[in-house]
Amino acid sequence: MSPVLAELLGTMLLVILGDGVVGNVVLNKTKGQNGGWIVITAGWAFAVTIAVYAVGSISGAHLNPAVTLAMASIGKFPWASVPAYIGAQVIGGVIGGAVVWLAYLPHWAATSDPAAKLAVFCTGPAIRHAGTNVLAEIIGTFVLVLALLAVLSPANFVPGSDLSKGFSPALVGVIVWSIGLSLGGTTGYAINPARDLGPRIAHAMLPVAGKGHSDWGYAWVPVVGPIVGGLIAAFAYQALWT
């Protein structure tokens, strides 16, 4: 499998399981309805872990344009591969959103709130304020990228062993879970432009029963914020840890 295809499939898996847990919690007449924030953050953490295990050995499992750009900015990933990776990640997000729509097909009509339906696909702020919403996404993604680079450093594993290959995806999931629990209450912690933009496009395109608008006025926040936060984290890591 090519790395680009792996990024598409990995991001698709990420969104299927991540948006899927949101659907299970917020849509009407599901088995997990009203499961709460702990269920959502845990589901997203497991989604990330599974997706990274699935394609990490093929593409490095960026699954996130903010991670791809951050890695390229400090010389850990070739710039020539950036456009293909980001394109694959966004397309994977669109496909993942479509699969979640199919998985919960009877529940869209059973749910009256258009905002709840949109929340299955993409993030939105608890308090709408562009400046602080962007800041929250910058902080969340800063923590994500800095933790990925620092926690997954070879110095944290036994030299010459393969432990890092086995534990790294699980540690990525722990990082995402921690961010969701600690920082996710402001914007829903997109911390990933593809995770938000791809399913948002799916929401706009699909015949979701009773859907409202796709909130394109907010859509730039979970794109710009994560990219800025990821770049700051990458340069901070390069300056302070290496």
For residue range 88-107, list pLDDT tens digits in order: 999 999 999 999 999 999 99
Q: Among 241, 123, 106, which Cα is nearest to 188's?
A: 123
Domain ranges, ordered by start, for the chain: 3-240
pLDDT value of position 164: 67
> Within a 13 Å sphere around the CA of 112, how many CA atoms are in the beta-carbon half?
0
What average pLDDT does the segment 217-232 reach?
98
Pairwise CA distance, residues 199 & 214, whole Å: 10
CATH topology of domain 3-240: Glycerol uptake facilitator protein (1.20.1080)
Q: What is the mean pLDDT of residues 156-163?
A: 70
Pick from 110, 122, 119, 125: nearest CA to 25: 119
Q: What is the pLDDT of residue 166?
A: 81
pLDDT at residue 160 in the model: 64
Q: Which residues contact 15 (CB under 8 A, 6 or more apart)?
A: 47, 92, 93, 95, 96, 97, 99, 100, 195, 198, 199
